[in-house]
Structure 1
Amino acid sequence: MADSRFRDCARYWRTPLLPGADLVTATYNEHTFAPHWHEAYTIPVIEAGAERYRYRGAQHVAETGSVPVINPGELHTGSRAADEGWSYRVMYVPIDFLHGLASEIAGRAQPLPWFDSEVIHDLDLAHRLSHAHRLLEADTDRRHAAVALETPAGKASALPADWLAVESALLDALASLLTRYGRTREAALKHGPNDPRVETMKALLAADLCAPLRVADLAQAVGLSPFHATRLFTQATGLPPHAWRTQLRLQRALGPLREGATVADVAAASGFTDQSHFTRHFRRMFGVPPGRWQSS
């Protein structure tokens, strides 16, 4: 029987100290993440329980105290690997931020950082990442509470008690990850170059997310039969074309939601048949319905 202390709940939030990033504090027991990817580096710390996920063609288990990093654009899943589920803290760090930090550390321009597929077992690193995440969350809560007071004193106290300490903890955690485990994308892709035909099909799928497309359209664009075009695309990306396009629609829906557009409008503009269709896919990818994600 599942531990009743672990129930599905997730909080998404943002901080000006890590521009463009989404941060999550979550616990999952029943939820299963469908195959999906993120456009940022996914940097989680498992704080309790264990998560099972499929990544780069293999099954992995991330236990308490581990750091299962996922590279941008890499397909992965997620589900419980223990009866009680798992609790974790996640930073979705923008590519430009981590790339820039890698260059700052080296003192010169660096290739794009990349990480191996194995779960990182490094308790010191896990502590640094968790500590930074907690400080960021506490700072965010403090500023939101102060703004809610709507008084001069409250607005003044919206500034963190020690922003330098929070930023220092964040940079220390991410720098530790990069210096200990960072590789380069060029090395990671050395044995698996991109097929230009797949890139052509991706561009066609992404050009207009509301435009109706058939497999025959993709096949014609790359000079293959529909069967061979679908097989090539699926082997290269891990998803058939329609599923890959759904993931891209969900990624592009985040911006309008963040800007305050209604869920119904975003669903229609993103190419989903209706709001319930959009909500179902959104929850499978992000663990919460779009309305809750937006409100947080």
Structure 2
Amino acid sequence: MQDILGSVRRSLVFRNPGGDERGFGSGLVEKIGSSLRKSRFGLFSKPPLRSLSSFLKDDAPPIRWRKGELIGCGAFGRVYMGMNLNSGELLAVKQVSIAASGASKEKTQAHIRGLEEEVKLLKNLSHPNIVRYLGTAREEDSLNILLEFIPGGSISSLLGKFGSFPESVIRMYTKQLLLGLEYLHKNGIMHRDIKGANILVDNKGCIKLADFGASKKVVELATINGAKSMKGTPYWMAPEVILQTGHSFSADIWSVGCTVIEMATGKPPWSQQYQEVAALFHIGTTKSHPSIPEHLSSEAKDFY
């Protein structure tokens, strides 16, 4: 734990990507724009849908479940509450439609590939601070990932309901976040999208890292040149991720620091001064690091 805490302190000082900075800004704007377009429109090759069922086949018997109310939605799918009809356990069901056509089909297929990668990772994870994978279910026009249901919602939603957290709560959540992240890193996995919206809280204050859609094994990143891809959410991104100069576990640690600021202030760093694209430019071209909230104790400030 001391090693990872040390990494947190070091990572929140801006890592200069090196090289001559003259004419640097215009090149970055082009790079950011290109990466955002690729990320938004999902420019990937088509995955073979005919192999999807075989890929998702589990050794365990399929879960009998029933879909309940809608509890969340995103660009490519929805999240429902579900019930395991054998055990009575409540589930979170991540559902994505696979019955699309044309340009929409291309985007959906790219997202399905991401879900395949997410399932592959989740199947092998077991830690109290990581959301538990329960299984998959294929329907005629949709793919469902069955996950542990966390009743408290995300840190982001709790900030919306209760405002910024007291330091005692920040400390408790951050410790658990680091334990979950330490487990991932020891298993060679980078999360690549740590933020309040991807951290769930149960009714006893136990936090669970969720949403592994952007996550990758480090060995896979090295193989496919993915360590230079821009994944994540702008306000929480490390400079080297934005600049696509290659990143490692330290990028996750940077995002942890940004999440601590999010919990302390109720908003992600830089969001009060910059829109998302402007924030990318600022983080990538300046030597500044996130401002530490003044109201925090000296011990909390030393954490940075």
TM-score scaled by length of structure 2: 0.26
TM-score scaled by length of structure 1: 0.26
* More contact order relative to length (CA 8 Å, sep ≥ 6): 2
